[in-house]
Amino acid sequence: MRSDTDEARRWLSEGVGVGRAVLVRSAGSSPFEVGSTLLVADDGRIAGSVSAGCMEGAAVEAVHAARRGGYREIVRYGVTDERAAEVGLSCGGVIEVLVEPELPDEVLRAAEEDRAWALASLLPIGREAALVAQVVIDETGIRSGSLGDAQADTDLAVIARATLEAGASGAVLVAGRQVYIEVHVPKRLVIVGAGEVAVHLVRLAHAFGFTTVVIDARSGFLTRERFPSADVLLAGWADEMTQTAGVDHDACVVALAHDPKFDDPAIVAGLRGGARYVGVLGSRRSHAARLARLREAGVSDAQLARIHAPIGLDLGGHRPSDIALGILAEIVTEDNRRLRASGQQQEVSAAGA
């Protein structure tokens, strides 16, 4: 929720208080995933969502009430509940929403951290005071905070690391108490080739919380006028600049130069850096020639199989905007497929713990 957090930071800088609602459990046909967040400012502004719109009004009111009362609570809506009918939850299923009077400082700092970490906090039983034990965990273990019990902290660290690997937030049972583990994983989109497709892709990617890095050695293409919203512009050759861009398992690498001098080094960097998505623009015919070149360069068949080419979902159009949307759609599809698979494994792990 990078863009939403940026919005909250602006509200706070104006002296306007902010609370939030977080979807912590869902079952049935709930349209949104666990971790979806609605931010609510005291002056009525909102950002984000915890449903497809059917209960936003009720969630906003719940946050305002929590801010007035200084408490945290879980609000539950089910399709058979009278309360669900009142707010229009006609899509079915059951959802549980954590309502908090303030946005945790750790969450505000999340967008500034370029590494994966998680925030664990005890879920309230009824209406509890705003202050709560919170624990920050990264891939090395507990970074700060405690649940107040050494064994509980040990169990939490194990579960949280698995949750980080899955990349999905969720509620788990630790030492007899429900704990919500809120995962923050950086989403970096590294684009090699500053053509017109890249211009549209940068605009679209920000709506999905990506930090965007554009690389090109052609100064006339790589300008702020063309990429006003790009987070980073790197002038240089792909084999040099991908190291600066930080190509690792949190990155998606998109090669759009349509020139082997740019595209091939970008693909190799993405594959060897473990990027979760590697795609390249071009026809099947040009990709066959590309595969032959990469094999000669020592890239294994297993690595080559990870390349998405021709890049993107086929939306039936050939305009730069169509191609950019297809690329982002494919990245999101792959991310969601990976999260579902990891989430199922994590459910088994959490149940065993």
Report how far residue 184's alpha carbon sits from residue 353's, in angstroms, rounded to the nearest whole number: 22
Q: Which residue is associated with the tokens 């937030």?
A: 169
Report how far residue 61's alpha carbon sits from residue 316's, in angstroms, rounded to the nearest whole number: 43
Strands 307-308 and 232-235: unpaired
Longest alpha-carbon distance in the chain: 67
Q: How far is CA 174 from the centre of its chain?
A: 25
What's the full length of the chain, in residues?
Answer: 353
Looking at residues 179-188, what average pLDDT do you find? 88
Give residue 338's pLDDT band: very low, low, confident or very high (50, 70, 90).
confident
Residue pair 181/170 in contact (Cβ under 8 Å)? The answer is yes
Residues contacting 227, CB < 8 A, separation 6+: 194, 198, 199, 202, 214, 233
Amino acid at 97: V
- The lowest-confidence range among 249-253, 288-292, 302-306, 340-344 is 340-344
Tokens at residue 94, please? Answer: 């059951």
* pTM (two decimals): 0.76
Residue pair 53/36 in contact (Cβ under 8 Å)? The answer is no
Residue pair 263/198 in contact (Cβ under 8 Å)? The answer is no
Half-sphere exposure of residue 80: CA atoms within 13 angstroms, side-chain side: 2
Domain layout of the chain by residue ranges: 2-100, 114-185, 188-335
Tokens at residue 184, please? Answer: 């923050």
Report how far residue 190's alpha carbon sits from residue 255's, in angstroms, rounded to the nearest whole number: 8
pLDDT tens-place string over residues 207-262: 888 999 999 999 899 999 999 999 999 999 888 888 888 788 889 999 999 999 99
Tokens at residue 165, please? Answer: 């690997």
Report how far residue 189's alpha carbon sits from residue 278's, in angstroms, rounded to the nearest whole number: 10
Residue pair 262/192 in contact (Cβ under 8 Å)? The answer is yes
pLDDT tens-place string over residues 142-176: 888 999 889 999 999 989 888 887 778 889 999 88
CATH class of the domain defined by 188-335: alpha beta
